[in-house]
């Protein structure tokens, strides 16, 4: 890979990055993942950046690296993490990115900083993510689908403004296409069922993931976490639906939040929007531009009716459709996806023969920014 291959992206001198990170010393590590580490770096003794170091032992790393550089080097939006440039040394590849002093959102929801975000901050984070996705989908000169929206891919500025990060899996959607058929790549627990089951990729896949992230922000729970109530074993999306259906949404809200009556009503509307984002089929989901308007106006769903969402369980590998009594085991998906689709009319598709590649959890792409 030569500099000419990554036209438009700034090339950084490896020696400068080595010096700025104190030879990539342990004391400068911000995070680690299966493909490498992220380091805090100080350039010219004043400019602080993040340097993502990627090891190319895995074949897909180089592809993801080049994809990220080419795709977002020209994107500038307040809610998208800016790529400053790239470098390489031997078999190692480097992305130079904006430095986010508050790290990733997940640390504030269930990590070491849990309970430090109030409702206004959480709402602004939800709104900012929505604006970033709307820009990718509708306001850039091409439609870009992120494909891996999740809480640890949302970074926070020093004043808790969100920036969507990690575009290694992102891809263009051709202007004249509503969707494409592709292999699944992402994180189970956040991904839309039509994408995990059939490989049908559209901008509504990001909408679904965004809905799940909203529910994480409101509840302070992981999407794959099971409720602590011994009488049930509901995952987050199912718990959200039952709370909404029974009108006991306060049981769903993060216990660290102290909400007044007005805020409780606001949260209920946001939960409705999240559930709308996770509806199936995809035609029931709003575009991200529509979501921005709903969030901005504080409006409820109006005449739109919600139905029980379809959700993909991570640990059990089960895809639940419409009812907790009606499920198919995901380990069967890889064996005979067409049979499953035909057996379940709600997911019937003329593209049933599309190749399905549901990745096991331990093989999910490791994300460290």
Q: Tokens 């189970």 label which residue?
A: 188
Burial class (CB in 10 A: 0-12, 13-18, 19+), 360: exposed
- CA–CA separation, 145 vs 170, rounded Å? 5
326 is in an annotated binding site: no
Query: What's the pLDDT at 316?
Result: 41
Give me the count of residues in the chain.
369
153 is in an annotated binding site: yes
102 is in an annotated binding site: no
pLDDT tens per residue, range 9-36:
789 999 999 999 999 999 999 988 767 8
DSSP category for residue 315: S
Query: What's the pLDDT at 185?
Result: 83
Q: Is 298 a residue whose pLDDT tops 70? A: no
At residue 98, φ and ψ (nearest 5 deg) are -55, 145
Q: How confident is the model at residue 57 (pLDDT cuts 50, 70, 90)?
A: low
All domains in the chain, ordered by first residue: 3-98 (3.30.200.20), 106-363 (1.10.510.10)
Tokens in use for 298?
């504080």
Q: Which residue in 64, 106, 148, 254 is the catalytic one?
A: 148
pLDDT tens per residue, range 115-124:
999 999 999 9
Tokens in use for 266?
């606001």
Q: Is 50 a residue whose pLDDT tops 50? A: yes
Greater model confidence, 190 or 359: 190
- The fraction of the chain above a pLDDT of 90, given in percent, is 53
- CA–CA separation, 30 vs 252, rounded Å? 32
Quote the pTM value.
0.82
- CA–CA separation, 314 vs 139, rounded Å? 33
The pLDDT of 253-281, averaged and rounded, is 94
Q: Please choose, from the candidates 80, 122, 114, 115, the residue with its C-alpha nearest in 3D space to the C-alpha of residue 97.
A: 80
Q: Is 353 a residue whose pLDDT tops 50? A: no
Query: What's the pLDDT at 350?
Result: 32
Query: What's the pLDDT at 25?
Result: 94
- CA–CA separation, 130 vs 214, rounded Å? 10
SS3 31: strand
Alpha helices by DSSP H, listed for 73-168, are 106-109, 119-134
pLDDT tens per residue, range 226-259:
766 655 558 899 999 999 999 998 899 999 999 9
Determine whether 148 is an active site residue. yes
At residue 194, φ and ψ (nearest 5 deg) are -65, -25
Tokens in use for 185?
């790549």
């Amino acid at each position: 890979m030569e500099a000419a291959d990554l036209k438009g992206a700034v090339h950084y001198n490896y020696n400068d990055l080595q010096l700025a990170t104190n030879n990539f010393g342990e004391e400068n590590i911000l995070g680690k993942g299966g493909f490498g580490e992220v380091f805090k770096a100080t350039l010219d003794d004043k400019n602080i950046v993040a340097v993502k170091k990627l090891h190319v032992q895995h074949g897909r790393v180089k592809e993801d690296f080049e994809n990220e550089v080419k795709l977002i080097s020209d994107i500038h939006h307040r809610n998208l993490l800016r790529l400053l440039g790239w470098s390489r040394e031997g078999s190692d590849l480097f992305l130079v990115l904006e430095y986010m002093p508050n790290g990733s959102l997940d640390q504030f929801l269930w990590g070491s900083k849990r309970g430090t975000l109030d409702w206004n901050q959480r709402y602004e984070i939800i709104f900012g993510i929505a604006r970033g996705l709307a820009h990718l989908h509708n306001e850039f000169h091409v439609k870009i689908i992120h494909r891996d929206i999740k809480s640890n891919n949302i970074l926070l500025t020093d004043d808790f403004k969100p920036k969507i990060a990690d575009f290694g899996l992102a891809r263009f959607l051709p202007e004249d296409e509503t969707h494409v058929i592709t292999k699944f790549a992402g994180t189970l627990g956040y991904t839309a069922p039509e994408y995990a089951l059939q490989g049908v990729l559209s901008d509504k896949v990001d909408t679904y993931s965004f809905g799940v992230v909203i529910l994480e922000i409101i509840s302070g729970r992981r999407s794959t976490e099971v409720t602590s109530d011994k009488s049930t074993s509901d995952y987050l999306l199912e718990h959200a639906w039952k709370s909404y259906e029974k009108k006991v949404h306060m049981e769903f809200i993060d216990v660290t939040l102290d909400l007044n009556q007005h805020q409780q009503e606001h949260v209920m509307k946001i939960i409705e929007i999240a559930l709308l984002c996770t509806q199936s089929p995809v035609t029931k989901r709003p575009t991200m531009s529509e979501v921005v308007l709903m969030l901005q106006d504080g409006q409820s769903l109006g005449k739109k009716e919600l139905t029980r969402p379809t959700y993909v369980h991570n640990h059990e590998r089960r895809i639940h459709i419409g009812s907790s009594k009606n499920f198919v085991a995901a380990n069967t998906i890889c064996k005979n996806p067409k049979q499953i689709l035909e057996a379940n009319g709600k997911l019937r598709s003329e593209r049933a023969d599309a190749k399905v590649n549901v990745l096991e959890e331990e093989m999910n792409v490791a994300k460290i920014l």
